[in-house]
Structure 1
Amino acid sequence: MIFDCDGTLVDSMPAHFEAWCEALSIYGAGGVFKEDVFIAMGGRPTRDIVVDLNSEYDLKLNPEAVALAKREAFLKRMGSVCLIREVADFARSLQGKVPMAIATGGSRHVIEKTLKAVGISDWFDEVVTAEDVAEGKPAPDVFLRAAKLMGVDPARCLALEDAPAGILAAQRAGMQVVAIPSPLASLDA
């Protein structure tokens, strides 16, 4: 069983969007990242998104600098993140019964702090981040690495994911996928 973290297991997307807005404003690009684009790019590594924003808006943002500013802005908002109860209850019910991992487009530092903040850092056998693989989502790398570390054939894995890039990544890894509706997307409904 492989879980995405942000937007799937943890309701952190509003804090991530606010952090993006703050980081981009610091570098003179406030307002370029609209919420619908943010949702569509969910699950992808921050640096990759900055590269895309540079291309789309003819910007020259430093991906590393923006990623660091975004990380710091998110960490200031850590108190607003919480578990997505239904997914967390499902994960809790599987503890000790099946191997479980996190496969995320986030950085290890932020994901470890997030899991600790919501009290579930000890639930998972493995945590694979964008920093642990050559290519982030939508490439299948994080899911394939998580399966390998758990010793489970990817075809026998079930992935829970909210973002289009993550769903595609899990499918590319040959896994069955359960698409989790994003709490942020449900606010528009």
Structure 2
Amino acid sequence: MPRESLPDLTAYDAVLFDLDGVLTPTADVHMHAWKTMFEELFLAWGIEPPYVESDYFDYLDGKKRYDGVASLLRSRDVELPWGDPSDPPEADTVCGIGNRKNEVFARVLRAEGIAPYPGSVALLDKLDAAGVPVAVVSSSKNAEEVLTVAGLRERIPVLMDGVVAERESLPSKPAPDVFVVAARMVGVDPARSAAVEDAHSGVQSASAGGFGLVVGVDRGAGADALIALGADVVVQDLAEFV
């Protein structure tokens, strides 16, 4: 979309951003963490066939962490007790293995680091200069650490992540609750605010929440699909708003 035809985000009362795929390229770290964890697990348990890259897209991508674990193990004819989200990472349960992946994710993140998208940082700079409040609305329980490692945590005064959503018993995207409650935390009306998302479920969530503008960032989800699900405009990179 030509830059001159894009809406001015500084005209909104606040801008709420998803994290993975919008501010940071975190998907690569998640893929690496899943691969590392399952390769170690399959080797230790003698599970065949070995983990391959397509397993991520077939069984893990877009699913809640524990559902993804159960789905992938089932593909290898392995059934485990579900357990409880409080299970320690060494527990041989679906939840335990899911929590093990979280530890590997943190290990990979600390070892390799992560840099935010330059265009996203430039937009944050522009909004900050204009005095427009921002927030992050992420399903991830790792959002706090991702923002810290990426050097963005101090720039995000309001964080609605998987930890807060679980504590408040909020349903995950595509339900609108996390975006609506985050707007309330910022102190703004969704109808006068903008939301920025790259995922189908996130666009649906912001649209259902009644946001005045829903921006889709096409990192592979498809512009037509994002529009169909409720995005008002779609860009390839947030630098287009700067």
TM band (smaller chain): 0.7 to 0.9
Q: Distance in 2 between matches of 1:39 and 1:163?
A: 15
Which among 143, 150, 160 is matched to residue 196 of structure 2?
Answer: 160
Q: After superposition, where does 1:34-183 map in structure 2 within 5 Å?
A: 34-37=55-58, 41=62, 45-50=64-69, 60=79, 62-78=93-109, 79-95=112-128, 97-107=131-141, 110-133=142-165, 134-175=170-211, 176-182=213-219
Q: Distance in 2 between matches of 1:54 and 1:122?
A: 39
RMSD: 3.0
Q: How many percent identity over aligned positions?
A: 26
Q: Shift of residue 163 of structure 1?
A: 1.4
Amino acid at match of 2:147: L
8 Å CA contact 1:92, 1:123 repeated in 2? no
Summarize the Cα distance change of 1:22–1:155 in structure 2 as closer, same or farther, 3 Å threshold.
same
Q: Shift of residue 125 of structure 1?
A: 2.1
Unaligned residue ranges in structure 2 (runs of 5+): 1-14, 81-92, 223-235, 237-242
Bigger shift: residues 97-106 or 164-173: 164-173
Counterpart secondary structure, 2:214 = strand
Equivalent residue pairs, number: 182
Summarize the Cα distance change of 1:56–1:100 in structure 2 as closer, same or farther, 3 Å threshold.
farther
Unaligned residue ranges in structure 1 (runs of 5+): none
Q: Distance in 1 between matches of 2:221 and 2:183?
A: 28
Are 2:41 and 1:20 equivalent residues in the alignment? Answer: no
Q: Shift of residue 17 of structure 1?
A: 1.0
